[in-house]
Chains A and B, each alone.
Chain A
Amino acid sequence: MHPIIRLVNRNLTISLNPGFLLWQVIFPLIYIFVAGFAYTSLIDEVTFEAKEITYPAFLATGMIGFNIMNSTLVSGIIIWNDRRYGMFEQIMSGPFTRANYILSNIFTIGIIGLVSAFLIALVGFPVFFNSIEFSFITIPLIIFAAITGSVLFGSIASIISTRLKSSEGFNVTINTVFLFFAFVSTAFYPAKGAPEPLASAFYANPLTYVVDVIRAGFFGTFNDFIIIEMLVLILLALGSFYIATKLLTRLDF
């Protein structure tokens, strides 16, 4: 078995505990079915790329992107825990290279991101199936969003984990950064109609691009702007992955 596969196996074993899995499904379900339907008294329909969709459908597709981002926290936690509990040094003194370690983390979060996206799409399906316009690009767009989102947010989590030493510092920073990504984005509400500074801030946030791509896949709203968003996502993912790799390579023993 290839060293990367062995490390992915190990990563999944140590990070996929029942609590985490439950949280990954229960939390979005609460959002989709409680918040989604509760807000329908305030928000009936949402305009997305000139298409009218129900708020629960809008929220469910946003939750897919949110969940992909949330899953990538695992990457930061794995690296941070490995450093805290001495496993980083132990692994590096074994039959692995740093490239093996970094790639195994990316594959781990890629797998978790894809599974997570699939789960939320599955449980959220009843609320957005009326608005779905399936086409040959639906699945590729969702896979694209899951992979680039995983690499991007996983790299950000990895960067944070390499820079911080205390558990308090790590938790506060990662929660603050991910809270910004979650709520200053179009995952929960549309940019259209939001106050101008906030609407602009939404587009300074890569999670907005991830959920836009996912919605374009589900609702058939693929256009030139989505292509630009996809290119930006690729650049951001590659850039953050490069930085994360450099920082991990420089970690001292």
Chain B
Amino acid sequence: MSSIITRSLSKIYDSVKAVDEIDLNVKSGQVFGFLGPNGAGKSTTIKLLTTLIPPSSGKLTVLGIDAVKHPLQVRNRIGVVLQQPSYEPTLSVEKSLDKYGMMWNVPKKIREERVEELLSEFNLEEIRNKKNDDLSIGQRRRVQVAREFIHDMELLFLDEPTVGLDPTARRKLLDFLKNKAKAGLAIFYTTHVLTEAEYICDEIAIINKGKIIAVDSPDDLKNRFGQEKTIKIHLLGNHQSIPNLLKEIKDCKIDFNSGTNITIHSDKSEIVLLQILQILNQQKIPIEDLSAMPTNLEEIFLKVVEYSDASNN
């Protein structure tokens, strides 16, 4: 079953298409990554999907409900952690979790249990009595994310939830979210940290200039766009003649750095590497270290966005 279905969904501000006829299909129990450069339309899309703003055109169905006609019905069943911080400055951490639960009509007894669970799960016990205004950015973000789990929901929107979190807190949150997804929660997730997206997302959409330019699982995205590999060779000693020696090699991009490091990007990395090693062997140039790296999601993201920009221009 699908949690979100959009068809030709658009949002136009003063003749600028912030979101341009996007089609999405987010399945239940799936962590759906939504990636894009700054200003690509990610936050506008989230505001559309969470019914904060109405679309200019197109169809939007969330949890089987026509979200344009019945926005309140949708909002009753979703959770939203927006990109911007949101907190009650005068309330303590514990009180703000409890009041948020009250706002969602969670019965007092359940609220009390969940507050304790969340304080523990998000490592907030030590700061439970601290006022939100006195927290660090990372602590405030943890409270903001934890708060959303005080109420039941079927779909959760997380707009860059790990901003300001230290690596331990970040990993803990990602694992927590993975478990929630396993239990059936659909998560719509945006981030600029692509290793994070690779770790948590089942499917990823990349948006640029308001248009969806790629949708697939992280592995399939790599297979589609990630044929290119990066090979790094570290030479023993300085060899300024290297650029001249390797200039005839085709089907690759070679970067030289200070005469000791060679970085090769190529779709035919095995053939190119063989040619380079032959040349280095003929010239008796010793190699200190050699490593090959498969293309990661970040490189794919950059490549896809770059390709999309070039096509638009």
Which residues on A are within 8 Å of B, measured CB to CB?
A: 1, 6-7, 9-10, 13-14, 17, 81, 85-87, 89-97, 253
Q: List 29 A-B contacts (CB under 8 A).
A: A7-B103, A10-B103, A13-B95, A13-B99, A14-B88, A14-B90, A14-B91, A14-B99, A85-B86, A85-B88, A86-B84, A86-B86, A87-B86, A87-B88, A89-B52, A89-B82, A90-B86, A91-B103, A93-B50, A93-B75, A93-B80, A94-B103, A94-B104, A95-B75, A95-B76, A95-B105, A96-B75, A253-B47, A253-B53
Given A89-B82, A90-B80, 5 other A-B contacts at CB below 8 A? Answer: A14-B90, A14-B91, A85-B87, A86-B84, A96-B75
A202 CB to closest chain B CB, in angstroms? 36
**For B86, what are the chain A residues with a Cβ–Cβ distance below 8 Å?**
85-87, 89-90
A135 CB to closest chain B CB, in angstroms? 42
Q: Give Cα distance in the complex from A17 to B72, angstroms.
A: 32
Are B82 and A10 in contact, with the CB atoms below 8 A?
no
**For B80, what are the chain A residues with a Cβ–Cβ distance below 8 Å?**
90, 93-94
Q: Give Cα distance in the complex from A130 to B237, angstroms.
A: 103
A33 CB to closest chain B CB, in angstroms? 30
Q: Give Cα distance in the complex from A224 to B50, angstroms.
A: 53
Nearest B residue (CB) for A90: B86
Binary flags per residue of B104-126, CB closer than 8 Å to A gives 1, else 0: 11000000000000000000000
Q: How many B residues touch A, CB cutoff 8 Å?
A: 25
Interface centre among A81, A89, A91, A95 (most CB of B within 10 A): A95
B66 CB to closest chain A CB, in angstroms? 17
Given the known interface contacts A86-B82, A93-B52, A95-B104, the answer about A81 and B89 at a Cβ–Cβ threshold of 8 Å is yes
Whether B286 is near chain A, meaning CB under 8 Å from some CB there, is: no
Nearest B residue (CB) for A95: B76
Interface centre among B52, B78, B86, B89 (most CB of A within 10 A): B86
Are B88 and A94 in contact, with the CB atoms below 8 A?
no
**For B39, what are the chain A residues with a Cβ–Cβ distance below 8 Å?**
none
B158 CB to closest chain A CB, in angstroms? 12
Are A85 and B99 in contact, with the CB atoms below 8 A?
no
**For A95, what are the chain B residues with a Cβ–Cβ distance below 8 Å?**
72, 75-76, 103-105
B118 CB to closest chain A CB, in angstroms? 17
Q: Give Cα distance in the complex from A1 to B103, angstroms.
A: 9
Given the known interface contacts A81-B89, A253-B53, the answer about A89 and B75 at a Cβ–Cβ threshold of 8 Å is no
The number of residue pairs between A and B whose CB atoms lie closer than 8 Å in the complex comes to: 64
**For B84, what are the chain A residues with a Cβ–Cβ distance below 8 Å?**
86, 89
Q: Give Cα distance in the complex from A85 to B85, angstroms.
A: 7
Nearest B residue (CB) for A252: B53
Are A87 and B99 in contact, with the CB atoms below 8 A?
no
Whether B102 is near chain A, meaning CB under 8 Å from some CB there, is: yes
Nearest A residue (CB) for B47: A253
Are B88 and A6 in contact, with the CB atoms below 8 A?
no
Nearest B residue (CB) for A1: B105
A96 CB to closest chain B CB, in angstroms? 8
Q: Give Cα distance in the complex from A9 to B86, angstroms.
A: 18
Nearest A residue (CB) for B73: A95
B71 CB to closest chain A CB, in angstroms? 9
A251 CB to closest chain B CB, in angstroms? 11
Are B87 and A94 in contact, with the CB atoms below 8 A?
no
Binary flags per residue of B135-178, CB closer than 8 Å to A gives 1, else 0: 00000000000000000000000000000000000000000000
Given the known interface contacts A10-B103, A87-B88, A89-B86, the answer about A94 and B53 at a Cβ–Cβ threshold of 8 Å is no
Q: Give Cα distance in the complex from A97 to B70, angstroms.
A: 11
Nearest A residue (CB) for B13: A252
Q: Give Cα distance in the complex from A81 to B86, angstroms.
A: 10
Are A10 and B99 in contact, with the CB atoms below 8 A?
yes
